């Protein structure tokens, strides 16, 4: 059996959107991908918006995704360490995935070192200049008061409202976002701010939905993981360098 040395990063699966049928096809594709990495993966970082909506009540979690979660359980049982980042669509993760999969739940940024390389990891929402209204909304949604109030609402109503909100998300209404000039990419601006305080090799995000790499300086690189509706993109660290990859990419990717 191959030695488990590789570290995988992926983001923005948006399971549940835009329809149950589309989501099931995407889930099947993700399971096929997980099958290809299970032999050599040491760690798997799922960096936000894995689900298009996820809210945990004390004894209730959203139904569905059984094949995907089952495959993650298989990886976890075989020794793969799992990490889930809270994204803007699944910020209300509780301890269910931690209990069932042994996953580590990350709320904001995570800085790690592997094989002498340093990584700055974050979903990417609410960072950089602008987007003031969302930053305020994020604080409200993540507050204990808001979560307490939501937990008093029947799950059918909560999921119904979430479905309506998801239907107006940029994932559904824009199948493929456009890359801006580097100086207009707000996550690039944010990376440059971070690098003024700390030297890092890789600054990796999701959220933007466009797989891209930008060399920030001779040492540091910004990597966006893209998404799994159009691009099916992910990154892998082999102990030496990070490579941006595509799984079963469509002809247009």
CATH code at position 125 = 3.60.21.10
Cα angle 40, 118, 229 (rounded to 5 degrees) comes to: 60
Nearest one of 226, 240, 202 to 121, comparing CA atoms? 202
The distance of Cα 20 from the centroid of its chain, to the nearest Å, equals: 20
Three-state DSSP at 146 gives helix
Examine residue 252 and state whether it is found in any structural domain, yes or no.
Answer: no
Q: Which residue has the higher pLDDT, 108 or 173?
A: 108
CA Rg value for the chain? 18
- Report DSSP state, residue 184: G
Q: What's the whole-number mean pLDDT along residues 22-32? A: 96
Examine residue 20 and state whether it is found in any structural domain, yes or no.
Answer: yes
Residue-level pLDDT at 140 = 52
Quick one: pLDDT band at residue 18, thresholds 50, 70, 90?
Answer: confident
Residue-level pLDDT at 57 = 77
- Which pTM was predicted? 0.86
| Domain total in the chain | 1
Residue-level pLDDT at 134 = 53
Examine residue 227 and state whether it is found in any structural domain, yes or no.
Answer: yes
CB of 85 closer than 8 Å to CB of 47: yes
pLDDT tens for 80-119 read 999 999 988 787 788 999 999 999 999 999 999 999 999 9
Examine residue 253 and state whether it is found in any structural domain, yes or no.
Answer: no
Q: Which residue has the higher pLDDT, 4 or 60?
A: 4
> How many other C-beta atoms lie within 10 A of the C-beta of residue 94?
16
Examine residue 213 and state whether it is found in any structural domain, yes or no.
Answer: yes
Q: What's the whole-number mean pLDDT along residues 135-150? A: 59
CB of 72 closer than 8 Å to CB of 30: no
* From 34-48, 56-70, 165-179, the region with the lowest mean pLDDT: 165-179
Q: To 10 degrees, what angle do helices 20-37 and 66-77 make?
A: 20
> Percent helix, strand, coil in the chain (nearest 5)?
35, 25, 45
Alpha-carbon gap, residue 220 to 68, rounded angstroms: 33
Q: Is 84 left (phi over 0), alpha (psi -120 to 50) or beta?
A: beta
Mean pLDDT across the chain: 85
Examine residue 251 and state whether it is found in any structural domain, yes or no.
Answer: no
Contacts of 140 (CB under 8 A, 6+ apart): 146
Residue-level pLDDT at 173 = 44
Alpha-carbon gap, residue 123 to 14, rounded angstroms: 13
| Portion of the chain with pLDDT greater than 90, in percent | 62
Alpha-carbon gap, residue 36 to 248, rounded angstroms: 12
* From 8-12, 88-92, 142-146, the region with the lowest mean pLDDT: 142-146
**Does pLDDT of 208 surpass 70?**
yes
Range of the domain at 88: 6-246
Contacts of 102 (CB under 8 A, 6+ apart): 76, 81, 82
**Does pLDDT of 240 surpass 90?**
yes
**Does pLDDT of 253 surpass 50?**
no
Residue-level pLDDT at 69 = 97
Examine residue 63 and state whether it is found in any structural domain, yes or no.
Answer: yes
Peptide bond into 18 cis (omega under 30): yes
**Does pLDDT of 252 surpass 60?**
no
Alpha-carbon gap, residue 190 to 200, rounded angstroms: 13
């Amino acid at each position: 059996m191959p030695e488990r040395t590789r570290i995988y990063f992926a983001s923005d699966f948006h399971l549940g959107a835009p329809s149950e049928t589309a989501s099931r096809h995407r889930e099947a594709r993700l399971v096929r991908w997980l099958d290809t990495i299970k032999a050599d993966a040491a760690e798997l970082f799922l960096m936000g918006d894995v689900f298009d909506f996820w809210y945990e009540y004390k004894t209730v979690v959203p139904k569905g995704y059984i094949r995907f979660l089952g495959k993650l359980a298989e990886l976890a049982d075989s020794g793969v360490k799992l990490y889930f980042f809270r994204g803007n669509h699944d910020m209300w993760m509780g301890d269910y995935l931690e209990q069932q999969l042994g996953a580590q739940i990350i709320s904001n940024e995570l800085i790690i070192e592997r094989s002498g390389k340093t990584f700055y990891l974050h979903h990417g929402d609410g960072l950089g200049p602008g987007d003031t209204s969302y930053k305020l909304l994020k604080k409200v949604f993540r507050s204990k008061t808001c979560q307490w109030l939501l937990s008093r609402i029947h799950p059918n109503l909560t999921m119904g409202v979430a479905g309506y909100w998801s239907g107006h998300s940029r994932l559904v209404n824009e199948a493929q976002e456009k890359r801006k000039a580097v100086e207009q990419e707000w996550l690039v601006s944010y990376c440059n701010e971070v690098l003024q305080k700390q030297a890092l090799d890789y600054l990796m995000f999701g959220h933007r939905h466009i797989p891209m790499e930008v060399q920030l300086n001779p040492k540091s690189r910004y990597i966006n993981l893209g998404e799994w509706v159009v691009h099916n993109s992910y990154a892998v660290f082999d102990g030496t360098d990070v490579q941006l990859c595509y799984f079963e990419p469509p002809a247009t990717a």
